[in-house]
Amino acid sequence: MDDLVKFLRARNMADNHAYAEVAHRFGGDALLDSHLPMLDLVDMLARDYEAMDRADARRPGLAYALRMLAQSYAEHPHYRQEWRPQAHQRDML
């Protein structure tokens, strides 16, 4: 799961850099309808997961949520099929 969190944080960083480039070239108004706030929320969840105690009862739910969010990068060459959320993981929640 640590690799998945690192992957998600790296994708978020890359996406944030892309948004910064757009803002630099076209101005901040170009980002009005962007997914930038969502990137911040995904990064916050990834950081919360990293800081969470392994015995925390919320950890499996957060892990499942991160797996779901990572699917948006399923076409990325570093995405691993093993990260796909499984039905049994959802049923354990």
Stretch among 24-28, 33-37, 63-67, 80-84 having the lowest mean pLDDT:
33-37
pLDDT in tens, 20-56: 888 888 888 877 777 777 888 899 999 999 999 999 9
C-alpha angle with apex 38: 32 to 19, nearest 5 degrees?
A: 50
pLDDT (mean) for 55-79 = 95
Nearest-angstrom CA–CA distance, 31 and 53 = 36
CB 39 within 8 A of CB 16: yes
Residues 6+ apart with CB under 8 A from 17: none
State pTM to two decimals.
0.80
Report how far Cα 6 is from the mean position of its chain's Cα atoms. Answer: 9
Nearest-angstrom CA–CA distance, 60 and 78 = 23
